[in-house]
Structure 1
Amino acid sequence: LLRKRIKGANVVSITQHNFDRIIEIKVKKDKYYTIVVELFDKGNIILLDEDNNIILPLKRKRFSDRDISSKKEYQFPEERGIDPISISETELKELFASSDKDLVRTLAMNNLGSLYAEEIIKRANEFEEIDKHTPSTDLSGSQIANLNKAIHLLFDNLQEEHFKPQIVKKDSKEDVVAFDLVKYDGFEKTYFDNFNEACDEFYSKKVNTDIKNIKEAAWNKKVNKFEKRLKLQEETLDNFHKTIETSQHKGEVIYSNYTTIENLVKVVNNAISKDYSYKEIGKTLKEAKKNGLKEAEIFESIDKMGVLTLKLNETSININPKLTIPENAEIYYEKAKKAKKKTKGATIAIENTKKQLEKIKAKKEVAMEHISVPKKRVKKNLKWYEKLRWFVTSDNVLVIGGRDAGTNEAVVKKYMDNNDIYLHADIHGATSTVIKLEGNKVNDSILKESGEFAASFSTAWSKGFTTQDVFWVNPEQVTKTPEAGEFLPKGSFVIRGNRNYIRSAKVRIAIGIVDYEGKRLMAGPVDALETHCDNFIVLKPGYTKKTAIAKKILHEINEDDLITLDDIIRVLPSGKCDVDEEYHLRKKYEKN
């Protein structure tokens, strides 16, 4: 809707509403429009007509005193806080008289924030000592006068445009401000030409750090998964070794105390044969142990299944009286054997996990080194032809084309000379293409490449055509004067006389970095790119979105970090693309 209503409009004024976080951009096209940008809460953009009625908001919202929806009159939010640029001493007195908070909180909560509240108090202290924690109602008349003076001294910088954009730093504290602050005396300061540059530098670092932290946390989660698994596997293997050691030792203890254990087992089995319960047997053996009976010295307990727990040489073992002594020992030896078998599988699992852990750590390291973070935008000094579509033929002849209706007009009216050649795809919706001969003679190679260029940057691409006819004429045949009663829209021209045709020009382009008046990105016919660079990508009409294909191209050709994703998207044809894999495979085989 914004594009439909205000594209091509002239900006009349940009103002801030009072001291609020609201920007009004007034523009004029066929009529006046106002774009209101609300920079509070989650933000909003609202388009208004001449009568201040809402045409359409980005987000529809309804408040108790405001209705942000179509066809409603736009109302500014209720004014809150103070306007430090225009506030008077009387208004400041009224503010403090009605506040139940201390000085610094009263200023901070009335549009100033903590930083500038403290700055005002520091500046006022140059005239009179004022404690920032003084209750607002306790301030004297002279203190209020000096605070008012400090407010105007500080914010006069805004009105008089005395800006000193800077990033201040001291230890871990870092901030960006528009002018010198007393609060930041003693801080290391880096000055910038304008506040936008200062903010760009400050916040891009912050955003980049946040992105890296988020990415690192995601990778750490993956690494931790394998580290936890490894720790658990190592603990399990350690337990197997302990089981082997303790089980073998218990088996040996049983054999080394064979007679002692056998004697006790006989006593227990004898009692069982006389129908004594396990509870009674346990009680009797404990009393016997207490009374010093030698056979009962090793007894500890008996469970409800009749299994004895004995203590021999500081080692606790379980003996089932229903089994022989060797059978009891074999239980422990068998347990040790099973644990030993499991150690092999556990060792293999640990080695596999270690390999996986190293692999994921290596991936993390590579990912963190090549992490994609927003880069500070640097305005490029484009050559005149880079503002259009362009390429250089294999014969080093510059060919230009329009990007839209406006640049189509410019190509013909501003850049086409008498000895040039004009080309246009024989289809509705195409770029006006001009071969800048500049004394060179036109040949079949130049016409073929220029024809492919004109065909590719036409609606033939978005329609999925593989070839397209293109015609060419001399400059004097191109006119903006229509036949009587006809109308020519912007960017359109009338061709007089005979047309020369380039039949079945290929709808295909290549993209690469060429050295033409310096290193720059060029999109043009394959033959031209083959001549001027070694590393390029050939594209054809397809099904992949521009952003996805641009990322792939960027990865392949941006060896010296010369270009950005936006640069590539800008030179792509209108419509979806695919990489011409057949071309690249053929070239690969030719090299081999």
Structure 2
Amino acid sequence: MANEQGMSGMDVRALTAELSALLPLWIGKIYQYDAKTLGIRLNGNEGAKYQFLVETGRRAHLVRALPESPKNPLGYAMFLRKHLEGGRVTAIGQYGLQRIFYIDVAKKVGILRLVVELFDEGNAILLDEAGVITKPLWHHRFKDRAVVPGEVYAFPEGTDCSGFDSESFAAMLRASDRDLVRTLAVNCLLGGAYAELVCSLAGVDKSIPAAEADAGAVYAALHQVVAMVEGQRKAVITESGCWPIQGMGVEKQAFSTYNQALEEYYPLQTATEIKAEEKRPKLSKEEVIRRQQEEALKKFGKKIKRAEKAVEAVYTNYPLVQDIIATLDRVSQNLSWQEIEEVLKKSDLPAAKKVVAVHPADAAVDLDLGGVRVKVFVRENVEANLEHYYDQIKKFKKKTEGAMAAMERGAAQPKEKPKEVLHFMKKKWFHRFRWFYTTDGTLVLGGRDASQNEELVKKYMEGKDTFVHADVHGGSVVIVKGETEHMDDEVAQFAASYSNAWKAGHFSADVYFARPDQVSKTAESGEFVARGGFIVRGERRYAKDVQLGVAIGVQKEPSVAIIGGPVAAVRARTGYVVELSPGTFEPNDVAKKVQRALKEKVGEENWKRLRTVLNTEAIAAFVPPGGSDIVGGHEG
């Protein structure tokens, strides 16, 4: 049953069965509307056109019309267009009964697979012909799998009975200590309603122990339900949700296809429908504001409770948390976080099993403390970690008081139409260094001075990182925190641009790459190593004649901030960009010129809302040392 939270595994089976019947198909344009929603135009035989909407983590189905496409295509849509557009869809299928489906697309390089996850936060992942991740919509590292480029795609842990033979199915029932309906709901990923349907068709009491059930009858009933969903669909919407088959409740509306039912159940406003909506009676401004305030109060209350539970869980497990922090802090001095994650997966120690997720960029882990998920930073003690949650509680209590006071005063009269909510980027530990994210999502850090160069190598360089430096005297030490396909373009440009090559007025420079074990402060006899400098021994790999260039722009998604770095990496994350090249103007003057240029690009109205982040101090942090010119001669 599809409900407001999303689709079940059986719903995904019905969806893929309907889509498979439309083959052959070809991939047309691909769009990205926000951080989770994609649109794909599909072309069929005899001029047939289909519009496919995907909201990762929730739903996927055909629609009559896709939303209006963004003026500036977002990064993941551009990536998928490059790899999939024009390709022939050879298969559409599902992984067992999991809430995961795939679209196989034939291109010259082979069969590429787009995997869509409809559970939890959701994801979209492009795989190569060998099943290796080329690029996901979101990078995630979990305890049991990593969804990052270069890793073989792995499924989440869990049993799925759809592929069992009769003997394996019977063994699963015998091994269960639950009643029959709960065993089917959990072990076979059916959910409660479909599990009850299987019990009914099998003629078996759902409440009997699974081990005592007639395994043959239940097995046959399970496959009968799957066959109904695959080939005997009669889609309906009931009070409880959207179903691909009848008989699951009092029907409110019936449909000829499940995709039509899903589109009705998950309404989508097209541009035409929005205009029609504008003619209908609307809520008063006061009522809209009141509802917004009520929703805000609910959210604040949930966040306060979540933080309070985290504090209580940490205090209840204080010695354990203290031990985990101390151990991981010590181990991370010698191992990369990827290596630590592998060690944790293989460990049978109770403390290791408490770690359910690893966040390398934050030097943090998520702990499962008695069913409460708590994020702890391993370079901070327990009290400092608790302080983060106390700060959250204070912040949301203050917001709650403000919202309640506003409700008591009555809704204020807004002077203009409601605008999109802007989420400003929160300060992170690495923001004091030079930094950027590559187009494929890898964090890259650079030192601003000799002291930071020392700190980056001694404290933050780990086993599988890459050490990068321009082949000139003086410049940022650059540390690449993981793997990326953009070493020779984006990373190399970053290292070359924030070096003395820029200050000297050069337009290109050579850059070299080395492993962490090649980098040392230990000098040989007769050698001298200055502060911020290092000796690199052994063979290095070079990128020659790297063009210098820096872009500075205003990022709006997923959070608002000034970002800067290599031109391609910055352009992938914002439509408002100013490019710099080595030139004549001093850094402070350049920062002011960039601010004026960006203000002109974003427009006066947006500028008023963005001025808190679009300041010269934030811009100056990304301006290279030495003279610069704005590419194109923009003087603001």
Q: Could you say which TM-score interval applies, normalised by the shorter chain?
A: 0.3 to 0.5
Q: Which structure shows the bigger proportion of residues in helix conformation?
A: 1
**Highest relative contact order (Cα 8 Å, sep 6+), 1 or 2?**
2
Bigger Rg, structure 1 or 2: 1
